[in-house]
Amino acid sequence: MPKQHRGSKVVRQAFAWPVAVQCAWLAGLAAAAPPVMKDAATHEQLALQLRKCQQEDPMHRLPPSRAEPPPKQAQDLISQSDVLCFGGIATLVPKHAVLLLPKAMANRSEFTAGSTLMGWAEFYAKNRGWITTVEVTNEQAAGTQPLDAEVSLRLKGSICVVVATYQGGPISVLSPKASPSAPTPSDPTQSNPSKH
């Protein structure tokens, strides 16, 4: 008999926790406020709300725009990219990322049929011999700051294809925005045919 008594005590302790949780849950349900019941809105009430919203809408007071919509820009990747291709492999870089394309390497900016397309990092690793990169800042890429004088000198004397990069990846470099009072510096990137 004592063994049964000890066993029932163990059973009671094992089931004591779930019962306590259930009691707390049921007590929470009983203490919650009863749901508020409302009648469904009638058609007249909905129509009145719609009329009020339409009368308060400030867009109705504006005159229609007479400006022409902006021209749609090309949405395909090829039209927004320059191609670099050599040795049966090719990659795409953003337009205006190629800062210098020497005339001797002009054919490397054309896709050759049968070439395999690959990412920039892999393509650059295989073609470091004829590609040079120039790291630019966000301001230089946006055209708010010109390229450094040292970079401009390197571009003039380079025999390699020069690609602008930002944190290792190719990036478009817009022409520097000329201030009205300052004379425009000569731009060494004019040898890139994609900039015309």
The domain ranges of the chain are: 78-176
pLDDT at 136: 92
The answer, yes or no, to whether residue 182 has pLDDT greater than 50, is: no
Distance from chain centroid for Cα 7:
65
Per-residue CA distances from 172 to 24, 29, 97, 132 (Å): 63, 62, 4, 15
Rounded to two decimals, the pTM is 0.54
More confident residue, 4 or 24: 24
Q: Mean pLDDT over residues 17-41, rounded?
A: 71
Residue type, 164: A
Tokens, residue 47: 């129509």
167 φψ region: left (φ > 0), alpha (ψ -120 to 50), beta (else): left
What's the pLDDT band for 188 if we cut at 50, 70, 90?
very low
**Tens of pLDDT along 143-169?**
898 888 888 888 887 889 999 999 989
DSSP annotation of 2: H
Which one has a higher pLDDT value, 156 or 18? 156
